[in-house]
Amino acid sequence: MGPERRDRFAAARVARLATVGPDGFPHLVPVVFVVLGDEVWSAVDHKPKSTRELRRLRNIRANPQVSLLVDHYDDEWTRLWWVRADGRATVVEGGSSGTDAVPDDVLDDVLDALAAKYPQYAADPPLGPFVRVHVARWSSWQHDAGGTVTA
């Protein structure tokens, strides 16, 4: 299930981002995202939050190893599947300055991809910060008519 993993992941509407804080406790949150090559991008957007300095961002700065999971549940269990992306995350503040800076044209591509996937972003683009995950490993599982298949 080579490139199909990434394609299935990319088509999903929401992923769960798992980080681990300096205290060793896991933290799991839903995120909207886009896949560009072997990178997964998400943004801190305008949805209501108690702070812009989110726990996921603090956790990534302390420990950049993350996992993202997308899945499909169905009461017909032969239709179950999941795809996980494991990698190293960075917090990107935006613009072409700073330690985790990326060129403006890269962020423009990310914003264009987010707006194409999520129409809400076309009218109100997120200002960031952004989470950039360099995926080191794609893994997946799906049910198969002959039993279960893991890859």
Instruction: Provide the pairing of β-strand 39-43 with 65-72.
Output: unpaired
Over the stretch 87-128, which tens digit does the pLDDT of each residue have? 999 999 865 444 466 888 899 999 999 999 999 999 999 988
Encode 30-55: b = buried (16+ Cβ within 10 Å), e = exposed: ebbbbbeeebbbbbbbeeeeeeeebe
Q: Note the pTM of the prediction, 2 decimals.
A: 0.88
Number of domains present in the structure of the chain = 1
Residue predicted with more confidence, 23 or 146: 23
Q: For position 130, which CATH number holds? A: 2.30.110.10
User: What domain range includes position 134?
Assistant: 2-150
Question: 147 pLDDT exceeds 50?
Answer: yes
Question: How high does pLDDT run on average in the chain?
Answer: 88
Query: How far apart are the C-alpha atoms of 41 and 35, rounded to whole Å?
Result: 6
